[in-house]
Amino acid sequence: MSKNSKTSSNKAIAAWTSLGIIIGAVIGSKTGEVGFWVSMGICFGAALGATIGKQN
């Protein structure tokens, strides 16, 4: 794995985790369970980012 692809993978993880936090905060504010949904957003966002980062 080259340094360039590792950087790309890290950027994908960061972007998807950020998106997961935002989506989790929105869902959590609507349902009243912000902590649960933000943590779920972080988990799913990081997983998606890692998967997409490996493919690129």
Q: What is the pLDDT of residues 22-55, one digit of tens each?
A: 999 999 999 999 999 999 999 999 999 999 988 8
Neighbours of 52 (CB within 10 A): 15
Task: Please give the C-alpha separations between residue 24 and each of 16, 45, 46, in angstroms, as whole numbers.
Answer: 12, 10, 13
Tell me how many domains the chain contains. 1
Domain residues for 45?
A: 17-55
pTM confidence score: 0.84
The pLDDT of residue 4: 66
Cβ-contact 12, 52 below 8 angstroms? yes
Q: What is the Cα–Cα distance from 32 to 51, expressed in whole angstroms?
A: 30
Residue 29 lies in a domain: yes
Residue 4 belongs to a domain = no
